[in-house]
Amino acid sequence: MTLATFLSAHKKVTRSLRNLIQDYQNQLQADQFEKFLGSLNDALLQARTEILRAPAGPERARLLHKMIDQEIRQSTKVSTTCQKGCAACCHMEVEITSDEATILGELIDNGLAIDTERLALQAARPAQSTGWQERMKSTTNRCVFLNSENSCGIYDSRPLMCRRHAVTSPAVNCESFGSEISTLYFPRVDLLISAANEDNQLKVGPMAKMIVARN
């Protein structure tokens, strides 16, 4: 399979999976690379069939979360420096899907108390606003689901971007923008997200905007 054929069949592959494909293209002989693309195509189609079997909406998002958790559990051999309560990553802009926005919106509609003023302030920011660079220095950056103990208050329902974030550099580096942060890369997780993105109805955007927009 050629790269052009692969990319035209899978237009929604994540940026990191594209980078991985690029690395393989640089390292492999042309025929080996085509075989690699063929296997990747098969794996994407299989994952897509499995994910799209669940009805669109929260049920599909929950299935994807389960698959991602399982993948991460199986592939983590290096220990991370993430600890309960460090929470710097919960002061960054997090992207979620429209299905995840429905899950989070339902929690709020069912009585989960959050700071709605802060949510509105975050939602009003342009995507990738420089305000997020202040990280923990700005209380406005605090995720509305982060509880008073600096733990995720919706851990079982947290978005996939929170699930896949696994840091190996010193936790203190996460607190300041521009510090070097190393994260673990899970190729199968990228593959699952790419497969799920092939649902054309699915939208992706900053968490606060997506939650507010669902109303």
Contacting positions for ligand SF4 (CB under 6 A): 90, 94, 143, 145-146, 152, 154, 158-159, 162
Which of 94, 184 has the CB closer to ligand SF4? 94
CB of 152 to ligand SF4, least distance (A): 3
CB of 23 to ligand SF4, least distance (A): 29
- DSSP-assigned beta bridge partners for residue 167: 183
Which of 105, 159 has the CB closer to ligand SF4? 159
CB of 82 to ligand SF4, least distance (A): 10
Helix (H, G, I), strand (E, B) or coil at 22: helix
**96 with 140: CB under 8 angstroms?**
no
Residues 6+ positions from 8 with CB-CB distance below 8 Å:
none
Which of 158, 209 has the CB closer to ligand SF4? 158
Helix (H, G, I), strand (E, B) or coil at 170: coil
Which of 34, 95 has the CB closer to ligand SF4? 95
CB of 170 to ligand SF4, least distance (A): 19
Joined tokens for residue 198 = 């092939």
The DSSP code sequence of 100-159 is: HHHHHHHHHHTT----HHHHHHHHHSPTT-GGGGGGGG-GGGS-TTB-TTSSBTTGGG--
CB of 104 to ligand SF4, least distance (A): 8
Give the span between the Cα atoms of 93 and 186, in whole angstroms.
21
Which of 101, 162 has the CB closer to ligand SF4? 162
